[in-house]
Amino acid sequence: MRFARKRLAVFTLILTGLTLLPFGAAAAQGETQGGVFGDFEVSPGERVEIPVEIRGVTELYAVDLEIRFDPDIVQIEDANPNLDGVQPALGTFLDAGLTLFNNVDNDEGVIRFVMSQVNPSEPKSGEGVLLVLYVLGVDQGASDMAVTKLELSDRFGEAIPVEAMDGVISVSEGAAVSQ
């Protein structure tokens, strides 16, 4: 009798686990976040480095990203003066690959980044830095660092659900010096 109850209890636990497994997988996928995490401060005329990060991703292979900012408050400095235009610095999370867009329009306040890894690169999972923005404080005030587009995909072009995270950069006299 005891054995039958134990067997029934184990069977019930296994069945419950198998029933809830798809819900757990869906919840885990919804945990992917990307963008600017947190708020930053800088003094006018000073520079702060702001990471654009990805967190909780599984099998990432390509990214399509757009961030908007107030160009009257902040400007993005060029990370690669050897290339025409203004580019953010590439992070270390993804392997260098095919970059379609990596530019900043400081007149309109738009950062555009579209990139895919290429074979033999393996998909990436976890968290890390996609880009680094070198942000110069121009005038006192606050600028949203608003992620207006963030699309992720795996090696096969399948979309990875992601929540975009926006930050704010405040420019004010006496702001703490960035390390």
The Cβ of residue 147 has, within 10 Å, a number of other Cβ atoms equal to 22
Reported as a pLDDT band with limits 50, 70 and 90, residue 175 is confident
Query: Does 29 score more than 50 pLDDT?
Result: no
Buried b (16+ CB within 10 A) or exposed e, 72-105: ebbbbbbbeeeeeebbbbbbebbeeeeeeebbbe
Reported as a pLDDT band with limits 50, 70 and 90, residue 12 is very low
What is the average pLDDT value for the chain, to the nearest integer? 86
Q: For residue 41, how many C-alpha atoms fall within 13 Å in the half-sphere facing its CB?
A: 6
Pick from 125, 110, 153: which is nearest to 58 by CA? Answer: 125
Residue 139 near residue 72 (C-beta atoms within 8 A): yes
Helices (H), the chain: 2-29
pTM for this entry: 0.81
Task: Give the pLDDT confidence score for residue 8 in this predicted structure.
Answer: 41
Task: Give the pLDDT confidence score for residue 2 in this predicted structure.
Answer: 54
- Using one digit for the tens of pLDDT, what is the confidence trace for 117-169? 999 999 999 999 999 999 999 999 999 999 999 999 999 999 999 999 999 99
Query: Does 107 score more than 60 pLDDT?
Result: yes
What share of the chain has pLDDT > 90, as a percent?
78
